[in-house]
């Protein structure tokens, strides 16, 4: 009944993923390759979390 009030973890993860990619892009433009690589690695971890959530949602449905 109150499923409309549940938070969507995919939405939050996608927002975090997009923000990390944007931060990485800005770091790359400034020439900070070390920060770029660290931010890209964090974005990849978030992407893996997104895939895991999608798999659990797919198998749970």
pTM reported for the whole predicted model:
0.83
Q: How far apart are CA 39 and CA 26, in angstroms?
A: 10
- Report pLDDT digits (tens) over 46-55: 999 999 999 9
| Domain assignment present for 51 | yes
Q: Is the pLDDT confidence value at 1 over 60?
A: no
Residue 39, domain extent? 9-59
Are 14 and 33 within 8 A, CB to CB? no
| Domain assignment present for 2 | no
How many structural domains are present in the chain? 1
| Domain assignment present for 4 | no
Q: Is the pLDDT confidence value at 6 over 60?
A: yes
| Domain assignment present for 3 | no
Q: What is the pLDDT of residue 37?
A: 98
């Amino acid at each position: 009944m109150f499923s409309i009030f549940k938070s969507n973890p995919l939405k939050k993860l996608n927002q975090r993923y997009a923000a990390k990619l944007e931060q990485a892009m800005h770091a790359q433009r400034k020439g900070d390759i070390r920060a770029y690589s660290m931010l890209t690695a964090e974005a990849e971890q978030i992407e893996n979390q997104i895939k895991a959530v999608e798999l659990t949602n797919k198998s749970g449905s």
